[in-house]
Structure 1
Amino acid sequence: MPSSRLPATATVPDVAGVHDAGAPAYRPRRSVLYMPSSNERALAKAKTLPVDALILDLEDAVAPDAKDQARENACAAVRSGEYGRRELTIRVNGLGTQWHDADLRAACAAGPDGIVVPKVGSADEVRALVAAMDAAGAPAHTRLWAMVETPVAVLHAEEIARASDRLACLVLGTNDLYKELGASFVPGRSAVSTSLQLVLLAGRAAGVAVLDGVFNDVSDADGFLAEARQGRELGFDGKTLIHPGQVDPCNETFAPSPAAVDDARAVIAAFESAQAKGQGVATLSGRLIENLHVDTARRVLAIDEAIAALAGQD
Structure 2
Amino acid sequence: MNGERPLRSVLYVPGIRERALEKIRELDVDALIIDLEDSIAPEMKPQARENACRAVSAGGYGFRQVAIRVNSRGTRWFEDDLAAVAAAGPDIVVLSKVEAPDDIGEAHRLLRSAGAAPGLQLWAMIETPLGLLDLSEIVREGRKQPDNRLAGLVLGTNDIAKDTGVLAGDDRAAMVPWLLNAVLVARAHGLSVFDGVYNAFTDMDGFVRECAQGRQLGFDGKTLIHPSQIALANRLFAPADEDVAEALTIVEAFALPENADKGVITLGGKMVERLHAMSAKRLIAIDAAIKARGSFA
TM-score by length of 2: 0.90
Query: In the alignment, is residue 153 of structure 1 matched against residue 131 of structure 2?
Result: yes
- Given candidates 160, 169, 181, the residue that maps to 1:198 is 181
- Given candidates 275, 288, 295, the residue that maps to 2:270 is 288
Amino acid paired to 1:101:
E
State how far apart, in whole Å, the 2-side matches of 1:222 and 1:261 are: 26
State how far apart, in whole Å, the 2-side matches of 1:145 and 1:270 are: 36
- Given candidates 104, 109, 123, the residue that maps to 1:126 is 104
* Counterpart residue number, 1:233: 216
State how far apart, in whole Å, the 1-side matches of 2:212 and 2:70 are: 29
Q: CA RMSD in A?
A: 2.4
Check 1:163–1:27 CA distance in 2 against 1; reply closer, same or farther (3 A cut).
Answer: farther
State how far apart, in whole Å, the 2-side matches of 1:281 and 1:268 are: 11
Q: Which moved more, 1:83-92 or 1:252-261?
A: 252-261
Matches within 5 A, 1:135-284: 135-164=113-142, 165-269=148-252, 275=258, 281-284=265-268
8 Å contact 2:66–2:90 — kept in the other structure?
Answer: yes
* Counterpart residue number, 1:17: none
Amino acid paired to 1:291:
E
8 Å contact 1:271–1:289 — kept in the other structure?
Answer: no
State how far apart, in whole Å, the 1-side matches of 2:209 and 2:76 are: 38
State how far apart, in whole Å, the 2-side matches of 1:112 and 1:33 are: 15
Amino acid paired to 2:157:
T
Matches within 5 A, 1:53-92: 53-92=31-70
Shift of 1:309: 4.5
Amino acid paired to 1:58:
L
* Counterpart residue number, 2:82: 104
Shift of 1:273: 6.2
Other structure's SS at 1:89 match? strand
- Given candidates 294, 302, 305, the residue that maps to 2:285 is 302
State how far apart, in whole Å, the 2-side matches of 1:220 and 1:67 are: 31
Q: Which moved more, 1:295-304 or 1:41-50?
A: 295-304
8 Å contact 2:26–2:296 — kept in the other structure?
Answer: no
Q: Which moved more, 1:293-302 or 1:206-215?
A: 293-302
State the Cα deviation string for residues 4-44 of structure 1 (Å, max 9, x = none): xxxxxx34xxxxxxxxxxxxx43221111000111112111
TM-score by length of 1: 0.85
Other structure's SS at 1:290 match? strand
List gaps (5 residues or longer) in structure 2: 143-147
**4+ residue runs over 6 A deviation:** none
State how far apart, in whole Å, the 2-side matches of 1:207 and 1:270 are: 25
Shift of 1:185: 3.1
State the Cα deviation string for residues 141-197 of structure 1 (Å, max 9, x = none): 211111111121112111111222111111111111111110113122111111111
* Counterpart residue number, 1:22: none
8 Å contact 1:85–1:313 — kept in the other structure?
Answer: no
8 Å contact 1:53–1:86 — kept in the other structure?
Answer: yes
State how far apart, in whole Å, the 2-side matches of 1:295 and 1:88 are: 27
Check 1:89–1:27 CA distance in 2 against 1; reply closer, same or farther (3 A cut).
Answer: same
8 Å contact 1:267–1:289 — kept in the other structure?
Answer: no
8 Å contact 1:211–1:240 — kept in the other structure?
Answer: yes
State how far apart, in whole Å, the 1-side matches of 2:17 and 2:62 are: 20
Query: In the alignment, is residue 115 of structure 1 matched against residue 93 of structure 2?
Result: yes
Other structure's SS at 2:27 match? coil
Other structure's SS at 2:154 match? strand
List gaps (5 residues or longer) in structure 1: 1-9, 12-24
8 Å contact 1:84–1:313 — kept in the other structure?
Answer: no
Other structure's SS at 2:166 match? coil
Same amino acid, percent of matched pairs? 46
Amino acid paired to 1:97:
T
Amino acid paired to 2:11:
L
Shift of 1:294: 3.9
State how far apart, in whole Å, the 2-side matches of 1:163 and 1:171 are: 17
